Structure 1
Amino acid sequence: MENKPNWLKSRFFQELVIFIAMFVLTMLHEWIKLDTFMAFLQGLTFFVVLYLQAQFNLHVIFPLLMAKKYALYFFCFVLLTFIGALLLLSLDYYWISPQLYREPDVSIFMGIVYHFVLCIISTVTILSMFLLRRYATELQKRSEVQLKLSEMNIKYLHTQLNPHFFFNMLNNLYGVSLTEPARTPQLILKLSELMRYQLENGSKRTVLIRDELKFIDNYIAMERERVGKRCEIQYRFPEEDTLPDRYRIAPLILITLVENAFKHSVTISRKWFVDISIQFFNDLLTAEVRNSLPDEALVSNSTGIGLINIKERLEMLYRNQYSLISTTEGQEYRTTFRLNLNAIEHG
């Protein structure tokens, strides 16, 4: 699908189209009388006042209704509409149609009522167009977000299903099967659970937090087998019964932080360590991941796509409800992630 030109999407262009359409519709019954430039100017001036009154209502008074200040909104709406009616009546009386009000059967009161109703009609029309446009915009944004999320989930699965990791795990399993065959079935089970979780839950919108933590636990267990005693691994997480079922999280977000810690912490000149702490307190999930900085000779070339993906997903799913901060202190790299669980309670 081809993208529309930017000028078609601009708010100015859309407002201009609405202005012209409403002007034509409003003046349609009087169009035959706009046979001179002065008549056209009078009609345009009349409509501009009508249009500005409706726009002022939309941008200044309508927010009161959205804020549930009903009494104040009703009072301001009536007052503004009455002022608009008086302005339109003044234009008619002194400039556009002064002869009309010289007729004995035309009263000022009926003129005010007519222009008052006209102001209400124009305001309702403008509001209807505004709400329809906002609804269409929201639908378009939702479609774009869903499409982007689907594309990102596919990319994410491709990057997270790391063939090197599973290749190393299989090699480790082979070595363990030769030296400690009794441990092999348990490790195979953990590896299968890792693969099953990623394949079955990677495309879901949300998963239970306890399921995500169990997945991380299995991942760390496999990493212990891979790195052996060379790396000091610490992992602290909440007890399963402290995590209510109503709290959910987008899948495979936390694992990115954990995987990066193992991937970028290898060192032989200093202590090699990975320290992971996940806490749940007062509806706030906090994950702090600390790891040693790698030796320069062991620094791997990374595209950073994992962190890019997680930041994009967080921004789309949990905007203004999370924080993700990475710092370097001495020979330690630290990432702190906080997420307001109230924001996803019903996710």
Structure 2
Amino acid sequence: MRSDSLKDTELLVFLNEAPNRNELRGIILYPQMFIYRILSPKIQEVGQDEFVISIFNREKNFQFNSAKGSPVKTIQQERSLWIFPEYKVGITIKGKTIEEVVRDRAVTNIVMISLLALILIIGVWIVYRNVKREVELAQIKSDFVSSVSHELRTPLALISMFSETLEMNRVKSDEKRQEYYSIISQEANRLGRIVNTILNFSKMEAGKRKFQFEEKDLNEIVEQMFSNYKFHLKNKNFQFDFFPGENIPKVKTDQEAVSEAIINLIDNAVKYSDDKKEIIIKTGTDYNFAYIEVADKGIGISSEDQKKIFDKFFRVSTGLVHNAKGTGLGLTLVKHIMDAHNGKIRLKSKLGEGSTFILLFPIKLNT
């Protein structure tokens, strides 16, 4: 039999042998007609918008594509159509060949594996950094306990020794007796400052420290601290000066807390001054801020350590700083006090040339 329109001469006959009857039953299939009418809808349903499925016979120059009008690249994967072995079935991904898709996916997989490896490395680094930080903090706390213990023992030992000497009347001259009284007073004040620092830090850590804000004149606060420290610093051969600014508006401050911040800055200036014993305090205004500036001519702070000096327990471990006594809490408390005032701290320092701390109090909050 023959189909003139499709020029198809191939056929397939299914035989069925009926019992007790001499009959043959079968179906004649024209391959190309079968492809167009039967397979075509199924192929188009399977292919949809992602694939182009082709059925072809190169000898008869026949090819059917599931997507009409779509350019089909060279078919690289093909299999025989089981019902018509001389016809082949091929598949092509739209826009790309299978090899291109495999290659792209391989690149994507490599990128994903690289990203996962990078994330893993970053995670390990973060864990390592945190563990290292915890170890360093534990060491710093241990050093803090040791330092505070020493800081407490030293004034107690001096107070005990000189008071016992005076009590036993071993000092005969009034001049020497007055010197011992002065030492006992200085060490008692020092002991009181250490205890207050630890107590204030404990309150700060627990979030229990309360501030009493009132309209205050910064010049008056600084003048009082200057008067209290002037005699003590001159006895230590320090040049100690105060230059008050003019027309400074009052700001809302806790006078006790601001005094504590100034004391901590002065104490640091004293501890870390070497040959040039000079401390200068200034007040003034800078745009929307009133400020207190404490400057010294001491050893200075390196740019690397400037990022850490407000961290609790931090102390530089080299040079004169290593030999100076302290708890490592003074500047942490200063930072906490300024945060409570919605203020800022500026630091200007250079190794060998001294340091300048500027406490900035906002004026605009008081209008």
Give yes or no for TM over 0.5.
no
Normalization by structure 1: what TM-score?
0.36
Greater per-residue helix proportion: 1
TM-score when scaled to structure 2?
Answer: 0.34
* Structure that is richer in strand per residue: 2
